[in-house]
Structure formats: structure tokens, C-alpha cells
Amino acid sequence: MARILSVGQRPETVDFSDPALPSGFDADKINAGIAVAVAKIRERG
């Protein structure tokens, strides 16, 4: 079975009030997107 390593900043540590970031984003939305991507990867084997 192949494995994937995801390296990056934990969404809970991001200051989403920073105007440089897209408005409306928060840690929950980022984590939900990651979960969708992981599910798609698993579906593909």
C-alpha cells in the first residue's frame, strides 16, 4: 500500500483574521477539505 506524507501548518494555528488570507476560511473548512481529499485518495486505492 502506498503512503502519503502531508507536511504543512496545522489549520488551528493560522490567524484567519489576516487580510492576506481569503475571507470566510477557518480551520474547520480547511480540515473538511483535507478530509475530502483523503477520502478521494483512498477511493482511488
Task: Note the pLDDT tens digit of each residue in 4-32.
Answer: 777 889 999 999 999 999 999 999 999 99
Residue 3 above 80 pLDDT? no
Long-range contacts of 36-45 (CB under 8 A, 24+ apart): 41/4
Over residues 23-45, the mean pLDDT reads 92
Residue 4 has a pLDDT of 75
Please report, as a single letter, which amino acid is at residue 20.
A
Residue 14 has a pLDDT of 94
